[in-house]
Structure 1
Amino acid sequence: MNTPTHKPTLAELFAQRQFTYFWLARLSATLSQQMLMVAVAWQLYDITGSAWDLGLVGLFQFVPALLLTLPAGHLVDKLRRGRIFATCVLVQGLVALVLLLATENSFISRELIFGLSIVLGACRAFQMPTQQALVPMLVPLTLLERAVTLATTGMQAAIICGPAVGGAIYVAGADKVYGTCTGLMLLAFLLMQGVHDRYEPSKEKTSLSSILAGFTFVWNHKLLLGATSLDLFAVLLGGATALLPIYARDILHTGPQGLGLLRAAPAAGALLMSAILLRWPIQRKVGPWLMSSVAIFGVATVVFGLSEHFTLSLIALAVTGAFDNISVVMRQTLVQIETPNEIRGRVSAVNSIFIGASNQLGEFESGATAALFGPVGSVVMGGVGTLLVSAAWVRLFPELARRDRMRG
């Protein structure tokens, strides 16, 4: 007679004190990051009035993050992961403090903001693989999927609330936002003092092959290659974020408030799906669910591309966020389960590169195809491309497509 499978509860998850401290620290840090970027963008535009400069802020963060991610992944496997995360949030807190002092003392400048953006990008290179590799060290394997889902829930909530809270505080002055960000980062740092992960750092000697070990491992494990590349191509082709201002003004005929709602819709859908997955986690037919979620993401993208009604567009974007969230949770859980602990930082770094590349290159792809075929043609072609990728991956990675449970 088969013993019924125990479904872990949220109470069991929060009973893991180390994870709870880390979850609260990550929530506080992500909220601060979102508020900080809103304030930096608004203040820079007040100073220069240049849209080009706004784009440079993102570029100055992306380039160091891309260049440092692989070495950062190697370092994550060589040092205590909790300490790396704590150091990242402390440095970002210092950046917020410098911005606070510069604003209060009137020496804030375009060049200072660009320089601090480079520091923030470097911190991101270390923080992203660290926070992914740290979760499995803080919870039992039976709780890992729910831990990943809850971490995603907190992140989506911060992404939704952070810009709104930052914008509301900015009315009182940019320095007030920077002061709040400094306090939140300090709180995250103090919370991390209660996190003592069980990880024993790797004694492997540093070499080119050890730095590239994450890529080698993913390439040789087709299930992980299929999962990470599926997300890369789906977001690369199906992302419509860069074109939302065009849709808001020229197609849906709405103003800045409508644009704000359009930008928030995918995160709102993702947050709702996170709540559903926390209550009813996917335990069987993992592969079919993963492939189907990417296909539905593609269909919703096509619907958004063709829609001329604001409400329908909001719903379509929320659906893209909801089903992208399924893909994110399942992919990250599979990566953590299938990766040995001693290489988890480097594999998480590869995953971070795929995420960053898909988002950044996806915006470029949307802009380039929109210039050639118009915004509607760009979004619809991207959605159809995502559907084709989903169908192709079923044939290219049959092990992934047929996967039944998270733990194979």
Structure 2
Amino acid sequence: MKKNDPYAALRFREFNIFLFLRFAMVFAWTMQFVVIEWEVYSITKNPLLLGLIGLVEVVPAVSLALFAGHIVDQREKRGLLVKCILGFSVVSLGLFLLTWPKIIGGLDTNTTLYAIYFLVFLGGIVRAFMGPTIFSLFSLLVPKRVYPNAATWSSSVWQMGAVIGPATAGFFIHWIGVHWSMCFVFAFSLIALILLFRIPRKPILNPKIGEPVMQSLKEGVKYVWNTKVILGAITLDMFAVLFGGAVALLPIYAQDILKVGSEGFGILRAAPAVGALVIMFTSAYFPLNKNAGLKLLAAIFGFGICIIVFGISTWFWLSVVALFLSGATDGISVIIRQTILQLRTPDAMRGRVASVNSMFVGSSNELGAFESGLTAKLMGTVTAVVFGGVMTLITVVGTGAALPKLRRLDLRKDLEENERA
């Protein structure tokens, strides 16, 4: 491998397949969420019932996360991911049928709504297992020496799917309707399943197969708590997402503060994603391993500053730039956090560590949107966004002061040890 080779991870065939299937799943999942949001609001016209969709999915995802991590560490990863994708396909097929007028023509609105919520709840169960399984399989596809580069490409593909999926949903709902949009989602889940079968089954690296569940869960949580670098990285990301959820309030800014309408809203909504994508791709050429701890702290501090600037801005293009830079700084933190998790997590504990990470970070998007809405109601929109940015800055300063190991973290040492191993 060349030093600082930006395509190091892409030289491994199985990892390329993994990237394609990951894109397919992220694309399908995010597209499905937007389509179902549209359908629920269309049949109910109730914002509260619309908001419940995220809650219905996140409750099982978080509740089962630790147990899912235990299962992932005990099972063969490729086979478990097959089951996860099959589960998602069943949910997508069910939602496809529930948006078919021939099927639901005789059903009342409440029955259809409850059936949709039930399938979304099942999707939350699948989500609890999907994240730790993908994280664990990732580590089996490339050597440890290219983990940072692989994490960059994996994060880039995730970001692409998360951007293109919702955008495609919006266009397809207009062009072909909700029902056939769900058919498209189902098709992408099948594509991901076909791609997965091109990756051979992988060995189970956990020496404690059959370990009691409670003991296994306790060890996973204890490892994260005692490994301050991992704990600090997860905590930072959680609070940044929790308090920096300005995106949830973008409709208010577009309509009432910046007064730029739906077209301006689209630009504002895309700006963070574009910033994150730019960083994801450039970081493949400029690795972030040197002084990674300081860079992580600086990136999230910069994210907080961007949120504050956006909050007080009344000039549209300044707001766009602030959101673009918030996406760029967030992209840096995601890459460094994913690299820390991959390099500092033992093979036998990847599922459990990933499940703890999903509990911290996975739920913070939904909770961040709720926090932003609640504080906006109590304080006013601008004050709420500025408050979130200030709390992010306080979290960074506090974490940096409390965890000197995170401050001094340099991932080059980990990579050198992996090369020697």
Instruction: Give the TM interval when normalised to the shorter protein.
Output: over 0.9
TM-superposed CA distance for 1:277, in Å, is 0.6
Name the CA distance, whole Å, in 2 between partners of 1:57 and 1:361: 13
Q: Partner of 2:75 in structure 1?
A: 79
Q: Partner of 1:241 in structure 2?
A: 247
Name the CA distance, whole Å, in 2 between partners of 1:207 and 1:102: 37
In structure 2, give the amino acid aligned to 1:156: Q
- Confirm or deny: 8 A CA contact 2:205 2:347 kept in the other structure: no
For residues 240-279 of structure 1, the aligned pairs below 5 Å read 240-279=246-285
Same amino acid, percent of matched pairs: 38
Q: Partner of 2:123 in structure 1?
A: 120
In structure 2, give the amino acid aligned to 1:245: P
Q: Partner of 1:111 in structure 2?
A: 114
TM-superposed CA distance for 1:5, in Å, is 7.8
**Structure 1 residue 47 and structure 2 residue 43: aligned?**
yes
- Confirm or deny: 8 A CA contact 1:36 1:178 kept in the other structure: yes
Q: Partner of 2:12 in structure 1?
A: 16
Change (3 A) 1:93 1:388: same
For residues 7-406 of structure 1, the aligned pairs below 5 Å read 7-10=4-7, 12-104=8-100, 105-107=102-104, 109-171=112-174, 172-196=176-200, 198-200=202-204, 202=206, 203-406=209-412
SS of 1:212's partner is: helix
Name the CA distance, whole Å, in 1 between partners of 2:40 and 2:9: 42
Name the CA distance, whole Å, in 1 between partners of 2:13 and 2:328: 29
TM-superposed CA distance for 1:320, in Å, is 0.9
Backbone CA RMSD of aligned residues: 1.7
Name the CA distance, whole Å, in 2 between partners of 1:175 and 1:272: 34
Deviation string, structure 1 residues 15-57 (Cα, Å, up to 9, x no partner): 2111111111110111111211111111112211111111111
Deviation string, structure 1 residues 184-242 (Cα, Å, up to 9, x no partner): 10000011111235431531412312123221101111111111111112222222122
SS of 1:143's partner is: helix
- Confirm or deny: 8 A CA contact 1:137 1:197 kept in the other structure: no
TM-superposed CA distance for 1:99, in Å, is 2.2
Name the CA distance, whole Å, in 1 between partners of 2:177 and 2:400: 52
SS of 2:139's partner is: helix
Change (3 A) 1:211 1:195: same
- Confirm or deny: 8 A CA contact 1:138 1:197 kept in the other structure: no
TM-superposed CA distance for 1:258, in Å, is 2.4
Change (3 A) 1:167 1:5: closer
Change (3 A) 1:306 1:197: farther
Deviation string, structure 1 residues 248-292 (Cα, Å, up to 9, x no partner): 111111223322322222111111110111121113111111111
Name the CA distance, whole Å, in 2 between partners of 1:260 and 1:89: 31
**Structure 1 residue 6 and structure 2 residue 9: aligned?**
no
TM-superposed CA distance for 1:157, in Å, is 1.0
- What TM-score comes out, normalization by structure 2 length? 0.92
In structure 2, give the amino acid aligned to 1:7: N
Q: Which runs of 5+ in 2 are unaligned?
A: 415-421
TM-superposed CA distance for 1:87, in Å, is 1.7
Name the CA distance, whole Å, in 2 between partners of 1:288 and 1:194: 40
- Confirm or deny: 8 A CA contact 1:134 1:197 kept in the other structure: no
- Confirm or deny: 8 A CA contact 2:159 2:277 kept in the other structure: yes
In structure 1, give the amino acid aligned to 2:203: Y
TM-superposed CA distance for 1:133, in Å, is 2.0
TM-superposed CA distance for 1:162, in Å, is 1.1
- Confirm or deny: 8 A CA contact 2:300 2:329 kept in the other structure: yes
- Confirm or deny: 8 A CA contact 2:31 2:169 kept in the other structure: yes
- Report the number of matched residues: 404
SS of 2:64's partner is: helix
In structure 2, give the amino acid aligned to 1:167: G
Name the CA distance, whole Å, in 1 between partners of 2:223 and 2:263: 45
Q: Which runs of 5+ in 1 are unaligned?
A: none
Name the CA distance, whole Å, in 2 between partners of 1:189 and 1:212: 33
TM-superposed CA distance for 1:387, in Å, is 1.4
In structure 2, give the amino acid aligned to 1:49: K
